[in-house]
Amino acid sequence: MRILSIEERAVKLAQYIIETKDTVRGAAKKFGVSKSTVHKDIANRLLNINYPLAMEVRKILDENKAERHIRGGLATKMKYSHKGEIAKRRVFWHFM
């Protein structure tokens, strides 16, 4: 695989986020770079490279930011509902 220039990477990251509506964290994992790199590429570098693309990806990032508290709450709910099932099984076996 050929190494992308910084400008190419910024554009590819933006296109990926727009197509998939993925988060910064998800894009970073997909491209093998840090979250800071993704954010800097999209928030700073892309403005100078392709302004309309930067505005389009900014809308998706703002949408993800608005929804993150919901995703966090769902993750916490799942975490503790799973622990509750294990605790119930332990109590059940303890009294048998």
Tens of pLDDT, residues 34-69: 999 999 999 899 999 999 999 999 999 999 888 877
1 domain residue, yes or no: no
- Count of domains forming the chain: 1
Q: Percentage of the chain with pLDDT > 70? A: 82
Give the integer Cα–Cα distance in Å for 23 and 7.
Answer: 20
Confidence of residue 3 (pLDDT cuts 50, 70, 90): confident
77 domain residue, yes or no: yes
46 domain residue, yes or no: yes
Give the integer Cα–Cα distance in Å for 33 and 52.
Answer: 24
Confidence of residue 75 (pLDDT cuts 50, 70, 90): confident
85 domain residue, yes or no: yes
- Domain of residue 52, residue span: 6-94
Q: What is the reported pLDDT for 96? A: 53
